[in-house]
Amino acid sequence: MERYFQPEIECASREDMIRLQSKRLAAQVRRVWENVPYYRKKMEEKGVTPDDIHGIEDLAKLPFLSKADLREAYPYGLLGKPLKDCVRIQSTSGTTGKRVVAFYTQHDIDLWEECCARAITAAGGTNEDVCQVSYGYGLFTGGPGLNGGSHKVGCLTVPTSSGNTDRQIMFIMDLQATILCCTPSYAAYLGERMKELGYTPEDIPLKAGIFGAEAWSEEMRRDIEKTLGIKAYDIYGLTELSGPGVAFECSAQQGMHINEDHFIAEIIDPDTGEVLPEGAQGELVFTAIDKEAFPMIRYRTRDICTLTREKCPCGRTHVRMAKPKGRSDDMLIIRGVNVFPSQIETVLINNGYAANYQIIVDRVNNTDTLDVQVEMTPEMFTDNVGEIQARQSALVEGLKSMLGLKAKVTLVAPKSIVRSEGKAVRVIDKRKI
Ligand code: DLL
């Protein structure tokens, strides 16, 4: 049995990591200055040159990059290498505005797959595992990233891509898959369907799941773990930085280790841009220090979370990020109150519901309305109006104490909310502001 574990990097001392990051950062900034006129202009506007950047202590001198910059420089304006050296693009599944198109050299692909291989290893994967990759393949990074990682670990890779749920289940059972990679909402759906088909957690050969690409709550994790009889690991990443594997969970399941030899993380105040101290909640910003084709420097992710350097029982020393609460763009402002869909999810699951829900926001007579439509589970399904009303009131109370806001709750029949094979669509905002 072989494990793809790199203790010299993943368990490096803080001093060694700072030295490595500093060296890579200084070289990266110089390369970008020389090759990316768009970012060079930003640096000039801020009055900073590569000579000012000696190490990570100088990071905050550099200008931020945002999604707006990506849009402005689309498609080739942020390339750090000539096209002849680029071998791939991937693109986001975003539905609004211009798509993000990210570029990769072969070096970038190797680096990305290495990150995914670390994630699979941290979830217990070895070359003896059968790893089913049910993230979408194609422009989305989920499938290609974990596919590459699975190869590096030496797993038998089953590239089912997303969709065709009964075929997914057939492969899991027939090939005795031990690791499943997909979005948490799709994992929940697979679990639901397997239960319907009569499989118990003991029948299911899976032992671990690597789930990410969308916000999901601890409660949802426990639910999936129970139905599939597995340990569920979180994985984080974004197209702009390569894809999945920027950070991943280890067996401690207490936050995701950021691959610090490739990415420097900062938390900033999203309003002022000021760097916040360790432990503070804010917007996550990443600098890719050795990516070539798409060298993002101080890229604002809009994801809201916290970082910790507390010692991790797994022995890895890389900084950990908490589960992102969702993107700052996902945050709803309802009657002046900030609401993250993940908070609503927590209340639902704590009250015995599965994560099948939709949040409908509207504005009636100049007042925001919040309607949470929740599916009853088959066990709780009833036509007894009194019982349904009591259930609804309990959820209204639970949401009120979590959000400080009165929501309307509508319980709907099992299976009436559409299931997702990729990222779930949780929010429908009908307000025209
Ligand atoms: O979702 C990459 C990915 C694929 C990650 C497979 C994990 C697994 P994008 O489509 O560019 O890339 O979307 C990136 O998704 O900024 C977060 O808002 C969100 N996101 C990704 N992973 C998580 C996670 C892929 N584990 C955006 N928890 C990011 C919460 C996540 N949100």
Task: Report whether 101 contacts 83 (CB < 8 A).
Answer: no
Pairing of strands 427-429, 357-364: parallel
Q: How far apart are CA 235 and CA 246, in angstroms?
A: 8
Question: What are the structural domains, with CATH classification, of the chain?
Answer: 1-329 (3.40.50.12780), 332-429 (3.30.300.30)
Spell out where 340-407 has E strands: 357-364, 367-375
Kindly report the CA angle at 431 between 425 and 433, in degrees rounded to 5?
125
Spell out where 40-136 has E strands: 86-91, 101-105, 130-133
Q: Mark out the alpha helices in 135-293 (DSSP H runs).
A: 142-153, 165-174, 184-196, 218-228
Q: How far apart are CA 336 and CA 429, in angstroms?
A: 15
Q: Residue 327: what pLDDT?
A: 74
Q: H or E stretch including 46?
A: helix 37-46
pLDDT tens digits for the chain (433 residues)?
Answer: 889 999 999 999 999 999 999 999 999 999 999 999 999 999 999 999 999 999 999 999 999 999 999 999 999 999 999 999 999 999 985 555 678 999 999 999 999 999 999 999 999 999 999 999 999 999 999 999 999 999 999 999 999 999 999 999 999 999 999 999 999 999 999 999 999 999 999 999 999 999 999 999 999 999 999 999 999 999 999 999 999 999 999 999 999 999 999 999 999 999 999 999 999 999 999 999 999 999 999 999 999 999 999 999 999 999 999 999 877 667 888 988 889 888 999 999 999 999 999 999 999 988 899 999 999 999 998 889 999 999 999 999 999 999 999 999 999 999 999 999 999 989 998 987 5
Pairing of strands 256-258, 130-133: unpaired
Indicate which residue's Cα is closest to atom 10 of ligand 1: 92
Tell me, in angstroms, the distance from the centre of ligand 1 to residue 245's CA.
10
Indicate which residue's Cα is closest to atom 29 of ligand 1: 238
Q: Residue 308: what pLDDT?
A: 98
pTM of the model as a whole:
0.93
CA distances from 254 to 262, 307, 368, 418 (A): 21, 11, 36, 31
Report the pocket of ligand 1 as residue ranges, CB < 6 Å: 92-93, 135, 141-142, 212-215, 234-239, 243-244, 301, 303, 323-324, 327
* Beta strands across the sheet bearing 263-268: 263-268, 282-288, 299-305
Kindly report the CA angle at 429 between 427 and 431, in degrees rounded to 5?
165
Pairing of strands 231-238, 243-249: antiparallel
Q: Residue 95: what pLDDT?
A: 52
Burial 187-201 (b: 16+ CB within 10 A, else e): bbbbbbebeeeebee
Q: Residue 383: what pLDDT?
A: 87
Tell me, in angstroms, the distance from the centre of ligand 1 to residue 300's CA.
14
CA-wise closest residue to 247 among 284, 218, 220, 222:
284
Q: Residue 375: what pLDDT?
A: 95
Q: How far apart are CA 166 and CA 264, in angstroms?
A: 41
Tell me, in angstroms, the distance from the centre of ligand 1 to residue 212's CA.
6
Q: How far apart are CA 190 and CA 182, in angstroms?
A: 10
* SS3 assignment, position 387: helix
Indicate which residue's Cα is closest to atom 30 of ligand 1: 215
Q: Residue 365: what pLDDT?
A: 86
Indicate which residue's Cα is closest to atom 15 of ligand 1: 213
List CB contacts of 111: < 8 A, sequence separation 6 or more.
Answer: 242, 262, 290, 291
Task: Report whether 160 contacts 133 (CB < 8 A).
Answer: yes
Ligand 1 atom showing the smallest separation from residue 240 Cα = 11
Q: Residue 93: what pLDDT?
A: 59
